[in-house]
Chains A and B, each alone.
Chain A
Amino acid sequence: GDSVTQMEGPVTLSEEAFLTINCTYTATGYPSLFWYVQYPGEGLQLLLKATKADDKGSNKGFEATYRKETTSFHLEKGSVQVSDSAVYFCALRPQGGSEKLVFGKGTKLTVNP
């Protein structure tokens, strides 16, 4: 079945450091891919998305590129801030439409000043 695998956390960085959170997926065809962010005590917010191969999603300085050849959608940011501390979830929706999103287990990021 379809699945998403994220790098194990937690991740702790200093402010202005470079961030990479790895995400790989298993799915047939071309699923849509997403990154969500969850701040403490809140629901999930869509951070960025990509719906076809080689698309780059970007938002708030975060980027992720849909790599079909490596079935990956790694999240990157060049310079993290304390306010980026949150849990990040990678997710997919199977090609052709499906009622269900498939989520990874989440990666907790802590950014220290």
Chain B
Amino acid sequence: SQTIHQWPATLVQPVGSPLSLECTVEGTSNPNLYWYRQAAGRGLQLLFYSVGIGQISSEVPQNLSASRPQDRQFILSSKKLLLSDSGFYLCAWSDYRVWTEAFFGQGTRLTVV
């Protein structure tokens, strides 16, 4: 069966510091991969998605970037965090052959101080 791993679960970082969040999927090949952000008390905002290695689509201009160095690995990065980057970050995957649901990781709670 397929599983998705996302880490770390919790992160506290100072303003101006770099960020790297990692997500990996097991049990499937060539998944579609997604990064979402959920600000406190608000809905989901799609940040990036990827349909293949090295293919990244950005939905919202910001100081974040994403990379997909391997088929089942998706990384969210920032060179310098802002206070407004605080939130709950969720990685998700979906099967490229069946255009239906997405499956989510457990999320990373990022607090920028």
Chain A interface residues (CB < 8 Å from chain B): 32, 34, 36, 41-46, 49, 51, 89, 93, 96-101, 103-106
- Docked CA distance A96–B99 (Å): 8
- Binary A-proximity of B3-17 (CB < 8 A = 1, otherwise 0): 000100000000000
Q: Are B42 and A105 in contact (CB under 8 A)?
A: yes
B21 at the interface (CB under 8 A from A): no
Query: Tally of A-B residue pairs with Cβ under 8 A?
Result: 53
Q: Are B43 and A43 in contact (CB under 8 A)?
A: no
Which of chain A's residues have a CB closer than 8 A to the CB of B101?
32, 34, 46, 49, 93, 101
Q: A43-B90, A89-B44, A93-B99 are in contact. Are A99 and B104 (CB under 8 A)?
A: no
Beyond the given pairs A42-B106, A97-B99, 18 more chain A to chain B contacts, judged by CB atoms under 8 angstroms and listed by A's residue number, are A32-B100, A34-B101, A41-B107, A42-B107, A43-B106, A44-B92, A44-B104, A46-B103, A93-B100, A96-B99, A99-B32, A99-B49, A99-B57, A100-B34, A100-B46, A100-B49, A101-B101, A101-B102
The 4 closest A-B pairs by CB, nearest first: A97-B99, A105-B43, A43-B104, A44-B104
Least Cβ distance of A15 to chain B in Å?
Answer: 25
Q: Are A43 and B107 in contact (CB under 8 A)?
A: yes
Least Cβ distance of B34 to chain A in Å?
Answer: 8
Q: Are B90 and A44 in contact (CB under 8 A)?
A: yes
- Docked CA distance A83–B51 (Å): 36
- Docked CA distance A36–B90 (Å): 14
A106 to chain B: closest residue by CB: B43
B32 to chain A: closest residue by CB: A99
B109 at the interface (CB under 8 A from A): yes
Which of chain B's residues have a CB closer than 8 A to the CB of A51?
100
- Docked CA distance A46–B101 (Å): 8
Which of chain A's residues have a CB closer than 8 A to the CB of B87?
none
Which of chain B's residues have a CB closer than 8 A to the CB of A96?
99
